[in-house]
Amino acid sequence: MSRYMVSNSRFLVPNIFDNCRFFSEKKITPQKQIDPRRVFKVYRFPGILANEKPKVETFEVDVSTCGKMVLDAMIKIKDMDPTFTFRRSCREGICGSCAVNLQGRNCLACITQIPQSKTMSLYPIPHMYVIRDLVVDMTHFFKGYASIRPYLVRKTQGPLGQQQYAQSVKDSLKMNGLYECVLCSCCATACPSYWWNGRRFLGPASLLHAYRWVIDSRDEDTEQRLKDLRDDFKAFRCHTIMNCSLDCPKGLHPAQAIAKLKLLISGMEKKPSPEIDPMKLASSGDWKKKCGC
C-alpha cells in the first residue's frame, strides 16, 4: 500500500492503515520460544556467626511460573530454599531495599526484568559488609547520608506545623531529578572512589542529597552546608567517572548533581536567590485563609 491514499477531496491524506497489523500485508513471524528455565548462580553466606565460608549456589527456576521481575525469581528461589535471605518491601522501586548485583550490574530487583540469558549471577551489592546472603550492612551508607543534614534548615520560621513555606514553580523544578532518589545505594556501591575512600568520601547518593538541600530555595543553611563539604575528600574525591549515573535504577544523574555541587562549594557559582519569599504565605496570612484556621 502506498504511503498516501487519494481521497475524493483534492488533498492527499496519510494512509493510516499502512502500519495497522490487521490491514498490513506483511506476515507476522511468531516469536521464537525461549526456554523458560534459567539458572541462577546465587551468592550464599550464612552470617559471621556460622563460621562458614561464602559460596555460590545454583538454582534452576522456571520463569514461566513466576512474575517477570528478578525479585519474583528470588521469591521463587526462597520457596525452594527458605534460608535464602534478601531485603524487599514495596516491590515497585520506591523503598530502595532490594538492591542487588545482577550479572555484574547493580539494580533494584523488583523493577528489573529477568534477563533472557540462560545463566545469571546474583550477588550482594559490591564493597559492602555482607550480613547474610544478599543482605548488606547499610550503617555506613546511612551515616554518610545523615551527615549532610537531609532536612530543611530555617533561621526564620513560624510556628511549626501551622504554615507552609512558599516556593515558585521554577525554583521547585531545580529539585527535579534529585528528590526522587530512593537511597538504594546502587550508585554508591558502583563508584570506585567510594570503594577506595568510603570512609572519607561521601559517595554519590549522599552528595546528590546534599545538592538537593543546598539548591532548595527555602533552605537557609547554604553557607554551612557548603563549608562542611569543603575538604579534599567529602565531595572532591568524585572524579566524574559516571558509574553512579550509569547504574542508578531510577534514571537519576548523581554525577551531574555532584558537578554542580562542586561549583557551589568552590565558590565558582552562587546559589540564586529565591524567586519568592518563602515566608510570603505566613506574612500575607494566605495559608490561614486557605486552611481555615
Residue 137-176 contact track with ligand SF4, rule CB under 6 A, x = bound: ----------------------------------------
Neighbours of 207 (CB within 10 A): 28
Binder of residue 91, out of ligand FES, ligand SF4, none (CB less than 5 to 8 A by kind): ligand FES
Decide if residue 98 touches ligand FES (CB under 6 A). Answer: yes
Neighbours of 86 (CB within 10 A): 21
Class of residue 273 by CB neighbours under 10 A (exposed 0-12, middle 13-18, buried 19+): exposed
Q: What's the min distance (Å) between Cβ of 82 and ligand FES?
A: 19
Per CB under 6 A, 158 contacts ligand FES: no
Q: Give bridge partners of residue 99 from the DSSP assignment.
A: 108
> Is 6 exposed, middle or buried, given 0-12, 13-18 or 19+ CB atoms closer than 10 A?
exposed
Distance CA 239, CA 192 (A): 9
Examine residue 108 and tell whether it contacts ligand FES (CB under 6 A): yes
Q: By CB under 6 A, is residue 122 in contact with ligand SF4?
A: no
Which residue lies nearer to ligand SF4 by CB, 217 or 243?
Answer: 243
Is residue 96 part of the contact set for ligand FES (CB under 6 A)?
Answer: yes
State the cell numbers at 76: 521463587
Distance of CA 52 to the CA centre of its chain: 33
Which does residue 248 bind out of ligand SF4, ligand FES, none, counting CB within 5 to 8 angstroms by kind? ligand SF4
User: Interacting stretch for ligand SF4, rule CB under 6 A, among 22-30, 234-242, 263-271, 278-286?
Assistant: 234-242
73 forms part of the interface with ligand FES (CB under 6 A): no
Cα–Cα distances (Å) from 189 to 28, 123, 126, 198, 246, in that order, read 44, 12, 6, 9, 12
Per CB under 6 A, which region of 88-96, 121-129, 165-173, 219-227 contacts ligand FES?
88-96
Q: Report d(CA 199, CA 41) in Å as an integer.
A: 31
Contact footprint for ligand SF4 (CB under 6 A): 181-187, 191, 193-194, 204-205, 208, 238-244, 248, 250, 252, 254-255, 258
Contact footprint for ligand FES (CB under 6 A): 88-91, 93-98, 108, 110
